[in-house]
Copies of this chain bind each other. A is one copy, B any other.
Amino acid sequence: MIEIDARHERFVQPLATALEAVASIFETQLASEFPAVESLCNHVGRYRGKMLRPTLTLLSGLAAREGDVTVLESDDLRRLAAVFEMIHMATLVHDDVLDEADDRRGGATVNRLNDNETAVMLGDYLISNAFHLAASIGDADLTERIGRVTNTLCEGELIQLHHRDDLGLDLETYLATIRRKTAVLVGACGSLGARVAGGTDAAGRALGVFGERLGIAFQIRDDVFDLDGDAAVVGKSVGRDLAKGKLTLPMILLLDGADATVFSKAVDAFRGRDAGAVLRLLQDGDAITRAIAFATEQVAVAKDAIAGVPFGGTEALLDDLADAVVARDH
């Protein structure tokens, strides 16, 4: 997710080693004696992405210990990082179920149907293993906090589904929803990463806010990619939100300030699932730019939240991570 420049060279190797260890904990946790399960878990690898969550977890632990790299050797911290990635992966797998269901509207095949059922169960297997791994850290209160985070995440997903095709969705509800479905988990990477590393409460709180704001910015950036991205660059199919009737920030901003003509065109394009027309209207109304500006603002708030907390030289790393959330090209 981030490139670490020469100023922070002493962090490079320990972070890379810890991230590799996280990947290995991830695989070991999912290992099964059953070939059928094992091969599915190997497929989960294809969902591997930017590793934002484990990176932030490790970095938050490092920051909370003021740059003491030995904390990156902590098995508990590495496990926690793997837990968050596994939870994230489970949501991706279950999101795909929904997409496959959508695809199938064009014509169902038994084979695809099997895949769909398997994806539900595979996602459940990931969720279950995430909790099992979390519990293995041996801190009941920590596990309970993680459970609260995932409760909130599921609520966010349910609220989002509830507002499908709701063209009256307002900014406040949109933000409350993405906070729940995305940002609270990223916030937990910050706050619980700091906690498991043995940081102060103040450090944990600051990193929690930092993560949450980053999560909001990240989701907005993702939502924009879904509107104007190139599938080949983004690495996943785009236009999924529109196909599912999911209103995101650019459209909300456009509708909010639109005159009657633009409003009616936008509604028609959205209802007609016309991705090209939607994108043109958003661009003409400057809504994509305004959405990115909103995300950039969230990044600034994130940086503010950690300003002044002594993080032993890791501040610049956190700032770089924050910038990368919006500046990324996929």
Q: Give residues in A with beta carbon < 8 Å to B.
A: 32, 34, 36-37, 40, 90, 94, 97-98, 101-102, 104-105, 108, 110, 113-114, 116-118, 120-125, 127-129, 131-141, 143-144, 146-148, 150-151, 153-155, 157-159, 161-162, 164
The answer on a CB contact under 8 Å between B140 and A154 is no
Known: A34-B159, A117-B98, A140-B143. A151 touches B127 (CB 8 A): no
**New A-B contacts (15) at CB < 8 Å, excluding given A34-B155, A114-B161:** A97-B97, A98-B116, A105-B110, A117-B161, A120-B123, A121-B157, A123-B124, A128-B153, A131-B143, A131-B147, A132-B147, A132-B150, A132-B151, A133-B147, A135-B135
Closest to A129 in B: B151
Closest 3 pairs between A and B when the two form their complex, measured CB to CB: A132-B147, A36-B162, A125-B154
**Least Cβ–Cβ distance between A148 and chain B, in angstroms:** 6
The answer on a CB contact under 8 Å between B121 and A94 is yes
The answer on a CB contact under 8 Å between B101 and A117 is yes
The answer on a CB contact under 8 Å between B37 and A114 is no
Contact of A40 among B34, B37, B146, B158 (CB under 8 A): B158
Could you show 29 A-B contacts with beta carbons less than 8 Å apart? A32-B155, A34-B158, A34-B159, A37-B158, A37-B159, A90-B124, A94-B121, A97-B117, A101-B104, A101-B113, A101-B116, A105-B110, A105-B113, A118-B158, A120-B123, A121-B158, A123-B124, A124-B124, A125-B154, A125-B155, A125-B158, A128-B147, A129-B151, A131-B147, A132-B148, A135-B135, A135-B146, A138-B141, A139-B140
The answer on a CB contact under 8 Å between B140 and A36 is no
* Chain B positions within 8 Å of A40 at CB level: 158
Closest to A116 in B: B101
The answer on a CB contact under 8 Å between B127 and A158 is no
Most buried by B among A116, A124, A138: A124
Q: Give Cα distance in the complex from A134 to B154, angstroms.
A: 17
Q: Give Cα distance in the complex from A131 to B131, angstroms.
A: 7
Most buried by B among A37, A110, A137, A151: A151
The answer on a CB contact under 8 Å between A94 and B124 is yes
Closest to A127 in B: B127
The answer on a CB contact under 8 Å between A104 and B114 is no
The answer on a CB contact under 8 Å between B120 and A94 is yes
**Least Cβ–Cβ distance between A196 and chain B, in angstroms:** 13
